[in-house]
A and B are shown apart, each in its own frame.
Chain A
């Protein structure tokens, strides 16, 4: 019996297979291939230039602090977006950031060298992520979101408020390591880490793990029937998101030095999730772009307006989020893809 005989009748048709492939996935014609390569090279060069010079390029608009803060928000938004890979909503991002601040303080008090701090902080996020992951094994959708919200509320009220207090209650402020003594130097550390995380996330998405995570999101039951463990992939994704958020918290601690408990309000986690939606849920570049837009731009506007913009950021964030959900449900990632396709000369 040949292989074709085992296929369902619908698949063994005379119609050419190419017709079923979306036009966007077909190889480009030769002239357009050069154009696409040129566009990608120009994009990469522009990115590399901005990556290396951003604090200096934007120095006319405000201090490097703004871009540092924007990158930290971008990491937090990326963390929320990573959880969306398995089709879940996590509102515990800020709580995990808070754990990063507390861990940083503890490690500094024990004199751990800074090079080790980031590694230990990333690993220390795993128990908390597993606790959140325990809920993901049993709850789905809205119920999981509620569980993470309750966890965030517990962490803020029961832990951060007694540990950090309203004034950021460490005995002494978090010390900045000498290699990141200025905001500009800190930018290169955070930007480097963000780039590393983005590349790692991209590689995971493109690997067999990413394919399985996509399959899990599409149908958990079918995924389990195929012999895979949904729990294992969910825990992996939540642990990855937890690591990103916890390290983002560490950077936030280094940037601010004194962190009050109020910053880890669960309501802010809701806002960060909305930013992830604006970026395009699950998208890596979209999440980072949204984080920069909602994190750095308000700070630059604050600096430009001499503090008069304070308070407007939430209003505009809500408005932009509503517009994006209505007009482009794919978010900033979809805008980016459309622009890239247009620049490359693709019709779709």
Chain B
């Protein structure tokens, strides 16, 4: 029983990693139709800025994190103004531009010599070393992990509320669905777009700053998580926030169970994103076919 509980906790924590990254991607895709492939790269860059200020320049933790997030917002605004706005109406080129930004951000992290990015850096946290033991599981969970779980829940609730219940969120969705109709209804895309991109980049920075104290701050592992998060966001069709979180938790759980109960099955844990993707695709195709057949029956 203790082993099962441990596995569940590990799975939920991993799921929270993927959720937080995937939610940022879904936010951008749902409101702009662009797959933000730069999500992981921007997060790592902002994480390194915060780490530089806190560790190397001895800024207070909260000030360093705030400056890191402000840098992310500024970067989002700049990217939107210089790149996204110029490529308006071309979501394919906008997606490719995020890809170029990803490479640029990764390269930038690599060329700053004192960031020593070839190995993982320890990101400071005021909660470091504090943990709580889960009764019955004989397993301790750190405060940083608890903070991550709370943050994931808050981001999920916040984004859901924003997109469904607020004028700003509905404006974002309206611009994405039909830009002309949205303009006729008084929504200004030029005001909505900077908000989306600055929010997405800030979320990306926040994700890295929450993940880095648990893992390490380095290019490879964090962008590796982003690749899995991309697969997770596919489960939600890049649109549904609840399905994305469900997919992330499912993936985290499957990976944890495979690692704990089938440690000899080499590579299976890493194969889960692909397997889930195939399953989702088959289910979608079957549903489309059923819907088509139902329509045919109704017409007949």
Interface residues of A (CB under 8 A from B): 135, 138-139, 141-143, 145-147, 149-151, 153-154, 157-159, 161-162, 266-267, 270-271, 273-274, 277, 311-319, 321-322, 325-326, 329
Contact = CB atoms under 8 A, between A and B. Distances in A.
Interface in B249-285: 266-268, 270-271, 273-274, 277, 281, 284-285
Contacts of A316: 107
A196 to B, nearest CB: 29
Nearest to A270: B99
A162 B108 CA distance: 31
A266 B227 contact: yes
Contacts of B134: none
Contact of B238 (A142, A153, A154, A322): A142
Given A146-B234, A326-B83, A317 B103 contact: yes
A15 B232 CA distance: 56
Contacts of A146: 35, 230-231, 233-234, 277
Given A162-B267, A313-B107, A315-B107, A153 B231 contact: yes
B223 interface: yes
Given A135-B281, A325-B93, A153 B274 contact: yes
Nearest to B227: A153
Nearest to B99: A274
Nearest to B104: A318
B96 interface: yes
B102 interface: yes
B93 A314 contact: no
Contacts of A271: 103
B145 interface: no
Contacts of B104: 314-315, 318-319, 321-322
Nearest to A147: B277
Contacts of A277: 96, 99-100
B236 to A, nearest CB: 12
A154 B270 CA distance: 6
Closest 3 CB pairs of A and B: A318-B104, A315-B107, A158-B267
A322 B107 contact: no
Given A159-B267, A325-B100, 10 more contacts: A135-B281, A146-B233, A150-B273, A154-B270, A158-B266, A274-B103, A277-B99, A312-B107, A314-B107, A318-B108
A317 B110 CA distance: 13
B48 to A, nearest CB: 14
Interface in B73-90: 82-83, 86-87
Contact of A322 (B29, B37, B100): B100
A145 B268 contact: no
Contacts of A312: 107, 111
A133 to B, nearest CB: 13
Interface string B199-225: 000000000000000000000000100
Nearest to B34: A142
A157 B96 contact: no
A28 to B, nearest CB: 32
Contacts of B277: 146-147, 150
Contacts of B284: 138
17 contacts: A141-B92, A149-B230, A150-B230, A153-B274, A154-B270, A154-B271, A154-B273, A158-B266, A162-B266, A271-B103, A273-B99, A274-B99, A315-B107, A318-B107, A321-B103, A321-B104, A326-B82
B274 A314 contact: no
B39 interface: no
Contact of B96 (A147, A311, A317, A325): A325
A153 B107 contact: no
B97 interface: yes
Contact of A145 (B35, B97, B271): B35
Contacts of A329: 93
B103 A318 contact: yes
A150 B103 contact: no
A265 to B, nearest CB: 8
B106 interface: yes
B101 interface: yes
Most buried by A among B93, B95, B99, B234: B99
Contacts of A322: 83, 97, 100-101, 104
A325 B268 CA distance: 38
A315 B93 contact: no
Nearest to A151: B274
Contacts of B105: 318
B35 A142 contact: yes
B267 A149 contact: no
Contacts of B99: 270, 273-274, 277, 321
A274 B96 contact: yes
B107 A157 contact: no
A138 B284 CA distance: 10
B289 to A, nearest CB: 11
A163 to B, nearest CB: 10
